[in-house]
Amino acid sequence: MREFTNPPLTSAPPVGGLADVVFKHAQTDPGRVALGRKDAAGQWRDVTSAEFRDEVLALAKGLLASGVRFGDRVAIMSRTRYEWTLFDFALWTIGAQVVPVYPTSSAEQCFWMLYDAEVTAAIVEHEDHAMTIATVIGRLPRLRQLWQLDAGCVQELYDAGAHLDDEVVHRHRQAVSPDSVATVIYTSGTTGRPKG
């Protein structure tokens, strides 16, 4: 039997993580429309690469100022929305790991995922989600922070990190490697407890 092989067309990058694309796009094409989002009036508005980078950077600084560290696991319990994407990239920028929680999860499902993943902080969408987490918070000894999107936590975190220099964030980002864990996703749990 004859065997044929081809060398790989590209090699894996030796450094860098998922968030690097935000900073690269902002540098190479800052005016490019990267995303769309609804404003307070419910109208869609464009978000450029530079604007998104600035928001990711500001949120990353706020997360660091609030105690989120490299390797920490942070849960996000929300439906799909702009802020979810913003938090994903901000957390990846500082080397934290995202733990998505389905927005209709029960308190016990939330408890298991947050406990098993050793989550240190959680972002929820609204008051109902906050109350779901609150019912099990006494059994989550590692959970130190709970932020609510609809209660203005993004601006709160921007303000908390405003005193930090951008370079603090970039040092964290440069420590992320292609082998770094980005997200811990749990199974549905149809054959037992969900597995991360």
pLDDT at residue 57, as a whole number: 98
Q: Name the residue range of residue 94's domain.
A: 20-175
Please tell me the pTM assigned to this model: 0.90
Segments of the chain with pLDDT less than 70: 12-14, 189-192
- Segment 60-83, tens digit of pLDDT: 999 999 999 999 999 999 999 999
pLDDT at residue 193, as a whole number: 76
In a domain, 190, yes or no: no
Q: Which two tokens stand for residue 2?
A: 């004859």
Q: Give exposure, 47-76, as e/b (b: 16+ Cβ within 10 Å).
A: bbbbbbbbbbbbbbbbbbbbebeeebbbbb
Phi, then psi, of 155 in degrees rounded to 5: -65, -40
- Supply the CATH number for residue 110's domain: 3.40.50.12780
In a domain, 10, yes or no: no
pLDDT at residue 54, as a whole number: 98
Phi, then psi, of 172 in degrees rounded to 5: -65, -45
pLDDT at residue 133, as a whole number: 97
pLDDT at residue 25, as a whole number: 97
pLDDT at residue 189, as a whole number: 67
pLDDT at residue 15, as a whole number: 74
